[in-house]
Structure 1
Amino acid sequence: MAHFEKRGTKWRAQVSWYNPQGKRQFKTKQGFLTKSAARKWANEMEVAKDDNQISNQDPIFAEYFKNWYETYKTPGTTNGTKKRYKRIYKLLTEYFGKTKLSKVTRYRYQEFMNQYGKSHVKGTVYKTNGSINSSIRDALAEGLIRTNFAERINLTWNDERTRKIDYLNFNQVQQLKKSLLDGIKPSYISRYMLLTIIYTGMRPGEIRVLTWHDLNFEDHTIHISKSWDYDNNKIFDYDS
């Protein structure tokens, strides 16, 4: 059951539960103007208890994100991916400082993304918000917070810095393919790489590390299990 206590003019509420190890845990919140407001919060916590979505931990926002990506996202990835998460962690540290996860509001997070979008392109803004949003969804599932403040955010970006990409249409692709095939020889490796991209959509790094064992001439298939890691100058194995 919840416990309520009035301190001065404000109310304090506390709920308790037992963790899987049988140890009693407590979660407390104070500063409620009325007892009914305190009771409303306590009822929400009781529901969270039933759903196993309650925790007495309240980590710093930036530090939670760091622990999250180091645990779930970056092990076994390329240096480029690790650097991207580290940059986001640095941004969160600079903007939110030591703000606890439970203290971050949707309004404040929107302000953060507005500021970030002023100097970044659309793709970067979407990737950054997507990474943070994923971590917050996990925090919600762990019972650390009750709402996802990174949802329903209006994303803006700097159009002047956004590169415009013109893709080849079907006829242009056919012309390119015809040009590549014209007079092709086994020594024209770059032509074969471009043709493979056209036919399969593979990445250049994946094509670079193909071996004869990856080609199945009977089934007309290519087994893609690795790519070239340009950051570390070595092969990156997808299956590892």
Structure 2
Amino acid sequence: MSREKGTGSVFYSTQRNQWVACAANGFSPSGGRKYKRMYCKTEAEAKKKLREFLREKDCGGSQAQSTLSVQDYMNQWLETVKRRTMKPSGYDRLESTCIKQVYPHIGDIQMHGVTSTDIQEMLNDLSCKYSQSVLKKTYDAINSCMRYAVNSNIIDRNPVNGVVVPKSSRESKEISILSDEEVELLKRECVKPFSRGKRGGYRLGYLCILLLNTGMRVGELSALEWSDVNFKGRSIRISKNASVIKNRDGDSDRTYVNVIYDNPKTKCSNRTIPINNAAMDALIHIKEITGNCKYVAANQDGDFLKPEAISNTFRTIQKNCGFKKQYGIHALRHTFATSLFRKNVDIKTVSTILGHSSTAITYNIYVHIIESLKVEALSLIDDV
């Protein structure tokens, strides 16, 4: 009967007329695998010696791991466990959470010495500086790592057990939306014709109008192909997402690279968006420029336009509009959603169009808008 890989083997040696217990035992200086062989009179004795050896080996490895600092162990966990199970963009965010939030507080403590108090104090301190979302990400990162350490017999118990995520003392940041006046200024500026060699105008200014009327994420627009656009059915299929990730291959001098994933941000991000008249007009104008390319938002070489390039165009348009406040590209998505709420579109429909995984997420993001619209509605009702 064969044994599980990594647990050694027991066999009878006719050459020595003895039972042999054999197990891997590290590597030689040249990199070859070394083996421990124990010779016994009986099969039962060989099996017993093998169990004892493996137990001692595991114990010694666990003890060595438990003396690693939290930072060293988490780096090892990130590289050997998480990197192979996560999308690169998600892995980048997790690594950033460890480096920026976890390591400065408890990174120097040895794994066997970290306590629930250490972790609670870390989160309490972070609650004064960061949002609730950052606190939750930090808690999830350290909890996942410590659970793995327990299952690997590195530590006896998870020190995150009993730790409470405190409420952030930072006020929740309200979303940014363009005013009606700013929307009109933006639309007039976006459609200015582009002429090579002359100042003014934009090659793909209509992309901002498309975002304003569909609520797409900028990464979804970057990855959008003309085959995803159904002009006859007046719909857009969202099934991909472009993202900027760290270059970990070392095959170039670039710190970050742009990639397209065949699946967008979440499962619910796979969706179909209806095309309104403004979006249709924008797509028609864009097709005149990039219609022969694979991508809707194509650069002059025919490749997909990077998300930051679209954001830069939006930034330039705002500057030329004379906006007093500079908005991030996501403000176009928020403005679109707010417009739907103002037109009394129900939250389930809005959530589906935006690609949120639940209506709770939609409500939490737009709670200030929803509540203010309720107040406006009540003010229109005469006293009973």
TM-score, normalized by length of structure 1? 0.58
Identity percentage of aligned residues: 22
Find the structure with the greater CA-based Rg.
2
Check the 8 A contact 2:114/2:159 in 1, yes or no.
Answer: yes
Q: How many angstroms apart in 1 are the aligned matches of 2:132 and 2:162?
A: 17
Residues 83-139 of structure 1 show CA distances to partners (whole Å, capped at 9, x for unaligned) of 662452365444335432222221222122212222222111111111111112222
For residue 212 of structure 2, the aligned residue among 182, 186, 194 is: 194
Bigger RCO of structures 1 and 2 (CA < 8 A, at least 6 apart)? 1
User: Match for 1:152: what amino acid?
Assistant: G
Query: How far 1:221 moved relative to its partner?
Result: 5.8
Q: How many angstroms apart in 2 are the aligned matches of 1:72 and 1:217?
A: 44
2:179 is the counterpart of 1:165 = no
User: Match for 1:196: what amino acid?
Assistant: T
3-state SS, counterpart of residue 105 of structure 2? helix
Residues 8-60 of structure 1 show CA distances to partners (whole Å, capped at 9, x for unaligned) of xxxxxxxxxxx7234433377xxxxxxxxxxxxxxxxxxxxxxxxx9444132
Q: How many angstroms apart in 2 are the aligned matches of 1:154 and 1:147?
A: 17
Query: How far 1:65 moved relative to its partner?
Result: 1.0
Relative to structure 1, the CA distance from residue 239 to residue 64 in structure 2 (aligned partners, 3 Å threshold; closer, same or farther) is farther
RMSD (CA atoms): 4.2
Aligned residues: 185
Relative to structure 1, the CA distance from residue 229 to residue 156 in structure 2 (aligned partners, 3 Å threshold; closer, same or farther) is same
3-state SS, counterpart of residue 24 of structure 1? helix
2:223 is the counterpart of 1:212 = no
Query: How far 1:212 moved relative to its partner?
Result: 0.9
Quote the residue 1:39 is aligned against.
Answer: none
- What are the residue-to-residue correspondences of 1:76-225 with 2, within 5 Å? 77-78=88-89, 82=92, 85-86=95-96, 88-89=98-99, 91-159=101-169, 161-165=170-174, 188-197=206-215, 202-215=216-229, 222-225=237-240
Unpaired stretches in structure 1, ≥5 consecutive residues: 1-18, 29-53, 169-174
Relative to structure 1, the CA distance from residue 229 to residue 95 in structure 2 (aligned partners, 3 Å threshold; closer, same or farther) is closer
Quote the residue 1:24 is aligned against.
Answer: 54
3-state SS, counterpart of residue 119 of structure 1? coil
Query: How far 1:230 moved relative to its partner?
Result: 8.3
User: Match for 1:164: what amino acid?
Assistant: K
Q: How many angstroms apart in 2 are the aligned matches of 1:167 and 1:99?
A: 41
3-state SS, counterpart of residue 150 of structure 1? coil
Residues 52-89 of structure 1 show CA distances to partners (whole Å, capped at 9, x for unaligned) of xx9444132221111112333356624x9536624523
Check the 8 A contact 2:245/2:256 in 1, yes or no.
Answer: yes
Quote the residue 1:70 is aligned against.
Answer: 79
